[in-house]
Each structure stands twice: as structure tokens, then as C-alpha cells.
Amino acid sequence: MEQVVIMDVTPRDGLQDAEGYVPLEDKVALIQGLVEAGVHSVEVTSFVHPTWIPLLADGDRLVPLLRRLKGEWIALAPNERGVERAVASGVSGVTLVASASESHNRANLNHSRTETLAILRRAAERAHSAGLKVRGAVSTAFDCPFEGTVPIASVMTVVEAYLAMGVAEIGIADTIGTANPAVVKERVRTVNDVRGTVPLSLHLHDRYGWALANVSIAYEYGVRHFETALGSLGGCPYAPGAAGNLDTEKLVSFFDAQGINTDIDLARLATVRERLFTVLSQRLSVPE
């Protein structure tokens, strides 16, 4: 069977704006459960300033607790300071992030896009020097909550900057969940023209229920890496009205039905999701 790679982003994107805090021990159990279900790569936390994302302020304590587990641990890092924290924690790799749209980049990162890319060049150099895998994510690669449709030239500015940084993977994100198959085809084909052997990952949110159709067209044009979250959790605190992520179980079922291998056990995945939702239902406050 053909193979796809699914990175589960529940512990980061799924929990960053959840209605309730997930205690450290439950985050470890979540990540362990994902690994035992067959997920090879997990985005486990975000090394941003704790005041920006309070629900993920415990990343420095979380990652060392994962060292006994198998798997690839990825953390989002928006700058050099984030990379330094990632290096100290012991993650496998970092995801650098910049937005294709100027207004979302300022809302999300408090810098112009040009300033952000300069910051990320230095962050990538530090991550490479520490032996970390470096991924480059392009937020608002389709539509922006403030500007509407994002020109493809703006997306390619960020993609080409990442390639110049020597990233190991490029990810394009449908941050607000409004992309359709025609636009996905256009953007994937354009990125394919420049990425060479660097894998392309698709991070989809699902406002209109089009995410699986977008997966199908992306797969047809060579995308084999996808990012998802349990129970369609997640959004973006700096993108008003952002929809939840493409559901991990839904995507695994979609590929299973077509004989496309993911290595992921749906029954185990359902157990992990049920346990997580039990914790979230308590709506716990962030510890002081």
C-alpha cells in the first residue's frame, strides 16, 4: 500500500485555545496515546511567550517527560528565543512560522512579514547548528481573516525564503478553513515547481466541510504529509472565526477506505480522543 505521513497537532494547535487547561500528566498521556495508536510525528507544544498562549506555558516541563517515548516531537518556535527553549527541552525539531498575509503576520507575531523572515533566518541557523529538524510553516496560505484571498505571490515569498533557509519540510496552512480544491491545486502545483525534494505538508482547517476534498486533490498532486487534530480541535487565537482542524480520525478513515497506509489504529485513536475530551470537559483553569 502507498504510505502517507500524518502529524497530529492536537497537543499544540488543538489545545492552544481550548476551553480549559489540560494538566501536564494528561498531555503526556495524550502524546503517549497518539504514539501507541501509530502516530509517528506529534506537534507537542509551542515555545512562544507564556503570556501569548497561557495554555501551552508548560512546554519546557512537558518535553523532558517524553524522552522515554518513541516518536518525533516537534515544537512551534517563532523566533531565536523559542528555538533556544526547544534546544534545551530536547525536541526532535521545530516548526518556524510566518504568515503569507501581512495583517495576520502582525496580529500573530507582532512584526511585519519582512521582519519575521529575518528573525526566522537567524532562528533556523541556530536550530540547524543544534541538529534539529527545521520545518517552515506558511500561515494564511489561502485566505486571511483580515484581507480575504491571499495572492499566491505572497505565499511564494515565504516558501522561497524557507527554502533558502534549508528547511527539511514546507507546510502550507488553510488557517481559517475556507480553501477549496481548485485553489489547493493551484497552490500545491506552484510550490511543487520550486520545492525540489523538500516534502510539502498540508495543514487544513475545515469551516465548510471541504477539507477531505482538499486532501484528495493535494494527494493527486503529490502531497503525502498532512496535519490534523483529534476531534477537529483547534483554531487560531489571532484569526477571528478560524475553524477547527481537520479531524485525525476522519482523515485516517478516508485513507484506509482507499487502501492508503497511515500505520494508525483507529480504535486506539478513538480511546485517546475520548480520554482527552473527558479532561477538557472539566474546563480546568491554568495553574498559577
User: Each residue of 66-87: pLDDT tens digit?
Assistant: 988 888 999 999 999 999 999 9
Element (H, E) at 163: helix 152-165
Whether this prediction's pTM lies above 0.85 is answered by: yes
pLDDT of residue 1: 56
Residue-range domain boundaries for the chain: 5-280
Q: How far apart are CA 158 and CA 43, in angstroms?
A: 21
Catalytic residue among 4, 77, 117, 236: 236
Summary mean pLDDT of the chain: 96
Residue 240 has pLDDT above 80, yes or no: no
User: Nearest CA to 244 among 256, 254, 231?
Assistant: 231
Element (H, E) at 227: strand 225-228
- Is 144 a known active-site residue? no
Residue 207 has pLDDT above 90, yes or no: yes
Could you tell me how many helices (H) and strands (E) the chain has, helices first? 10, 10
CB 226 within 8 A of CB 204: yes
Torsion sign over Cα 145, 146, 150, 155: negative
CB 262 within 8 A of CB 252: yes
Q: Which CATH superfamily is domain 5-280 in?
A: Aldolase class I (3.20.20.70)
User: Each residue of 102-114: pLDDT tens digit?
Assistant: 999 999 899 999 9
Tell me the mean pLDDT in the region 115-138: 98
